[in-house]
Amino acid sequence: MDHAPIRAFGAMLLAVGLGLDVWAMAAMSRRRANILPHRAATALVTTGPFAWSRNPIYLGNTIVLIGVGFAFSNPWFLAVAPLAAMAVLRLAILREEAHLAEIFGPAWQRYRCGTARWFGRSASR
C-alpha cells in the first residue's frame, strides 16, 4: 500500500496547524497582547484567526498533533490529539475564559457569544 498520500495529507495538516499558530501569534503581537498563558491578559484580540476561533493557538496545536500522526504514520498522535484537546480545555481554556470575563467584562461576553471556542460561529449567536 502506498502511504505517500496519507503522509502528504499529514504534512499539509502540519503546515496548516503551524500556520494557524503563527497567524494567531502575529495577531496577538499586533495588539501587544500577552501570549504567555500563565500571565494576565493585556488585550482582547478578536481579529485575524480570533475572528473565527477563540483559541486558534490551541486549535493549531491540535491540528499539528493530527498532522504528525498522519505524516509519520503514528496512530498514537491521532489518539492523543482529542485527549490533549480535552486536557487543554480543562486545564487552560476554562481558566483563561474566566480571567477574560473578569478583565474585559461586556466586551468578552459579546466576543464569546459571537465566536466559537474552537472554530466557527458560536451556537449562541
In a domain, 39, yes or no: no
Buried b (16+ CB within 10 A) or exposed e, 52-90: ebbbbbbbbbbbbbbbbbbbeeeeebeebbeeebeebee
How many independent structural domains does the chain possess? 1
In a domain, 72, yes or no: yes
pLDDT(121) > 80: no
In a domain, 11, yes or no: yes
pLDDT(125) > 50: no
In a domain, 60, yes or no: yes
In a domain, 29, yes or no: yes
In a domain, 121, yes or no: no
pLDDT(9) > 80: yes
Using pLDDT thresholds of 50, 70 and 90, give the confidence band for residue 28.
very high
Domain that holds residue 66: 4-33+44-114
In a domain, 49, yes or no: yes
Range 94-117 average pLDDT: 96
Range 48-56 average pLDDT: 96
pLDDT(120) > 80: no
Average pLDDT in the chain: 93
